[in-house]
Amino acid sequence: MSNANFSVGDLIRIHGLVSKPQFNQMIGVVKAFHENTQRYEIQPSRGSKTLAIKDVNLSDDEFLKPTDDKFKTERVYDNVFLWPSPTTATRIPIQCYSDCPSADFPSRQDEYIQSKLGWESVDTLSGIEEEGREKPTFLLLFDGLDESSPKNHAAMTIAKLLPEYKVQSCSRYKGIIRGVAILTYSPTKSTFKSMGLGLDHMNGQQVNEANENRRFTPQLLYDIIQFHKTDRAERQYKNHNDPMHRTFGAFKHMMM
């Protein structure tokens, strides 16, 4: 009979280790539970080696779970951190942080991320889209110098949909993303707005301007990640990959 208190894919905080104190306070992901030793196999947020840890040295109280009401109702976030998912996990491990600086303050955001996750570098892929929106609304952040952590397949699925010109703008992206990745809200502003035209309507159609103050629940952010696994996402990115759409979005037909 299993005495497991955590499930594969759960995020946990490591604490109280005597033999390996360097891992204390580190966040990890549960990869497996081994009945014979009554220990969890934990993948730390950074690096390739896993740890065998007793449940008394693990806690998950700080992490919002999909079964929590706030996962679907707490609309206060503009970021989502996504961990590499164990092959047997049913969900991608994610967590949102309300105290993480927004993309409007990149130096502060970078400092926060490096302090929390130990990244050597904060690298950025732009152009991440939401379903049904004409312009990109997110950035994908990752550590381009991480060569040892597990591959983050969810992040790589998102990145593979980006047009070539977006990929080429990030010199450290070589088709592989390792370790934790982050989606951070950074909407592309309307061309008409940036041109100073201040139009509320055009030919009876309302201008779809970016709302810089939008916030999301963890569930909404998880759904954005999941959208990128679908054929719908592939079609949307393909349809948006032309110079006119990049400039004018939904209004490109008015410019022709």
The helix (H) or strand (E) run that includes residue 114 is helix 106-117
Q: Give all strands (DSSP E) within the chain, no chain letters.
A: 11-14, 27-34, 39-44, 51-53, 58-59, 79-82, 94-95, 123-128, 138-142, 181-185, 201-202, 205-206
Q: Where are the domains of the chain?
A: 11-59, 69-247
Q: What is the pTM of this model?
A: 0.88
Confirm if 122 and 113 have CB atoms less than 8 A apart: yes
Strand partners, 202: 205
Q: How far is CA 169 from CA 25, 38, 165, 173, 191, in A?
A: 35, 47, 6, 9, 21
* CA–CA separation, 246 and 110 (whole Å): 27
Structure tokens at 28: 């990890």
Confirm if 46 and 27 have CB atoms less than 8 A apart: no
Residue that has been written with the tokens 């949307």 in this structure: 236
Each residue's pLDDT tens digit in the chain (256 positions)? 345 699 999 999 999 999 999 999 999 999 999 999 999 999 999 999 999 999 999 999 999 999 999 999 999 999 999 999 999 999 999 999 999 999 999 999 999 999 999 999 999 999 999 999 999 999 999 999 999 999 999 999 999 999 999 999 999 999 999 999 999 999 987 555 544 545 444 444 444 446 778 999 999 999 999 999 999 999 999 999 976 666 565 555 555 5
Choose among 142, 192, 194, 140: nearest CA to 166: 140
* CA–CA separation, 167 and 174 (whole Å): 9
Q: How far is CA 154 from CA 97, 110, 171, 231, in A?
A: 19, 21, 20, 15
Fold for the domain defined by 11-59: SH3 type barrels. (2.30.30)
